[in-house]
Each structure stands twice: as structure tokens, then as C-alpha cells.
Amino acid sequence: MTTPAPSFRIRVDVTNPGQFFACCGLLELASRSTPEAVGWFEQNSLCVSRSQKLTELLTAITGVALRQLDPNDTTASPILIPAPFDVRLDWWKTKDRTVSDLKVWAGTMESFRIARAMQNAMRAPDFASENLLNIGVVAFDPDDPKKKVEPFYFDARRGPNAHSRDVGFAPNDLGVTTIASPSVEFLCLVGLQRTKPLPVPKMPRVFDYHVWTGQLPAALMPAAAAGILPDSYGNGYRFESWFRTGQRKHKAFLSAKPKPQS
């Protein structure tokens, strides 16, 4: 079978779980806009074919008005990405501890506000490039451009620098604002709705995922990420959703390592 020419490709570090699940989110949104879209990984890139060009897709993603579905819940309300995508994000609204361990924000962090800030930052023209997942900026509140907004902490490049024992003080406790990767944070939130890593038995907050190399529609991403498809079985990675503050509430995704061979 001939591999279709990519409509676009983006660079990805597959050992960064935030970037991997951001790729799942991007393919999800591409397929909602163009149902025949397929995606696959090759040579440190995500390739997407039979889709809009990246510039057109990002214009659509950043142009829709996100909706907070529960106006009384600022920290964990489900979020709607309206037409042409029609995606409801609510994967964190569960009593399943293995899923809730993927929810990295807590306390006074407002999920809808963070999502809007990350989406708004992605409107900058620089994001419409192969370097989409590697662009770092300070994100601001769209309703108050002078107010900076911290990210969710899905991007594994932030996790090791978030705990006071690593940097000498607690950035979260002091309200320190740092550079974020908005596309990783926003698209990972989307990607986890359909495609989740597998919890590792007897290892709290530790998860596995698999990278696939064959062209797949978004509907098959969960099977591929679970490693049950032939072209993803041997491409496994393991990471921890790690407590990044002393209160053991806020978490961050750490970088992944190759999954141990069973």
C-alpha cells in the first residue's frame, strides 16, 4: 500500500508524553474537520495526510470559542470545542483513580481559563510550522491580556524543574510564571479524551503508551497507543505522572523511557 503524501508534518519527541498525546489531539481535531484524515509517526515526526494544511487547521482550532459547560465549576468543568469539531472534553470527570492520576492540575488552577489561554497563544503565526510543539511563550488570559496564565504541566520539559527540591524554591507556591508550550498543553488536553495511556499494575501514577508507524484514522489511536496493533507493539514508552509540589496535589508528566521488555 502506497503511503499518502503528508498534508503536513510536525516534529515530535515521542519520549515526551505531552507531545505524544498532543499529536493524538491534533489528529483528533484534523479528523473531525476532515473525516478521511490519517496519521502516523516517522523519523521524529507526526505525519498527517488527507487533511487540511496545518495553517488552515490551526486557524480553525484557534478560531472557535471554547465553552465552559458547567458555569459553577471553574476548576474542572467539562469543555466543549464547538463546530466544526464538536469535541466534549471531560475525561478528568471520573472516579477512576487511574484516569484521574492523569489530571495534573489541582487547587485553584482553572482548567477552562488555562485551556483558553493556551488556545489563544496558538494564534501567533509562528505556530503554523513543523516546530508547532516546540514553540515556547508566556501565555496570557484572553480576557485580561496583562494577566499571565500558567499551563497544565503536560509538557515533560517543565516537570523536572517544578519541584522546590530541584530548583531551590517552589515556583508554584510563589506564583512564578514561566515559559509554556501552549500547543502541547492544549492539544494534549484534547488527545487524552479519546486516547489514554495504560496504567502499569502496582505502580501508582505510572503509565505506558505506544507509538505507531502505519497510517491510521483517529478512531484507531486507542488501540495503537495500547500497543495491540502490529506496528505499535514494540514501540512502547513508560512515564510517571509525578507530584510536583509538596502538597502532593499538583502533578506533571515526566519524560518517558523505553518500556521494559516483558
User: Given this model, what pLDDT does residue 244 score?
Assistant: 86
Which pLDDT does position 169 carry in this prediction? 40
Per the structure block, which three cell numbers stand in for 194? Answer: 479519546
For residue 92, CA distances in Å to 152, 181, 249, 255 come to 13, 21, 14, 21
Looking at every residue in the chain, the average pLDDT score rounds to 90
Higher pLDDT, 262 or 228: 228
Q: How far apart are CA 92 and CA 72, in angstroms?
A: 16
User: What is the reported pLDDT for 4?
Assistant: 74
Percent of the chain with pLDDT over 90: 78
Residue 216's pLDDT band (cuts 50, 70, 90): very high
What's the pLDDT band for 262 if we cut at 50, 70, 90? low
- Which tens digit of pLDDT belongs to each residue from 96-134? 888 889 999 988 889 999 999 999 999 999 999 999 999
Give pLDDT, residue 107.
81
Convert the pLDDT of each residue in 53-95 to its tens digit: 999 999 999 999 999 999 999 999 999 999 999 999 999 998 8
Omega of the bond leading into 78 within 30 degrees of 0 (cis): no
Degrees to nearest 5, angle at CA 61 with 56 and 62: 100
37 pLDDT higher than 70: yes
Predicted local confidence at residue 170, as pLDDT = 45
Residue 36 above 90 pLDDT? yes
Q: Give the residue among 162, 158, 157, 192 at the shortest CA–CA distance from 174.
A: 162
